[in-house]
Amino acid sequence: MSISMYSASVPGFIRALENLAHVLRKGEAHARSKDYDPDVLLQMRLIADMLPLVRQVQIATDLAKNGAARLAGVEALKFDDDETTFAQIHARIERALDYLRTFQPEQIDGSETRAIHLKTRRGELDFNGESYLLGFVLPNLYFHCTTAYALLREAGVDIGKADFLGA
């Protein structure tokens, strides 16, 4: 039996964002326990030319919500990228999760051959649904979630592989 496009996408997107929210909560608690403003963490970078934590979270949520929408052939919910606090970043993740939970298998299953066209800062990209999911959305989603995790570890947050992977 083959795996469905829905099963390969939405449940994994939800899990990634739920686990991202979990490590962010631990990061926020860590900052408070060390008596500094947690929102400082949102501007952390691994290196000067890399995007800060807040942007990693914004991109991860965009990948998940836009990925599901494109696979379903619908217009994606738009988010402003204006978060500056942990409260706002948690609200963004919750909005993305709520949106993802609206998708049903019948909207996404069978999207393997759906034509998907993206305009990126590096140019235009064309995919079918399967190559979009497996070669673009999933690797990018996990890259940005992993980078957020690494930023929090660098800040001294007590998180490990189990926090990243979830239950």
Tokens of 32: 């408070």
> What number of other Cβ atoms are within 10 A of residue 97's Cβ?
17
Predicted pLDDT at 88: 98
Residue 115 is given by DSSP the state E
Which CATH class for the 5-165 domain?
Answer: mainly alpha
Predicted pLDDT at 140: 97
CB within 8 Å of 48: residues ≥ 6 apart: none
Cross-strand bridge partners of residue 128: 115
> Mean of the per-residue pLDDT values for the chain?
96
Per-residue pLDDT for 1 more than 70?
Answer: no
Contacts 24+ apart (CB under 8 A), 109-115: 109/4, 109/5, 109/6, 110/5, 111/5, 111/71, 111/72, 111/73, 112/5, 114/70, 114/71, 114/73
pLDDT per residue as tens digits for the range 52-63: 999 999 999 999
Predicted pLDDT at 103: 98
Residue position matching structure tokens 């083959």:
2
Q: Which string of b and e fits 1-17 if b means at least 16 CB within 10 Å?
A: eeeebbebbbebbbebb
CB within 8 Å of 120: residues ≥ 6 apart: none
Determine contact, residues 27/157, Cβ cutoff 8 Å.
Answer: yes
Per-residue pLDDT for 11 more than 70?
Answer: yes
Quote the pTM value. 0.95
| Domain coordinates in residue numbering, the chain | 5-165
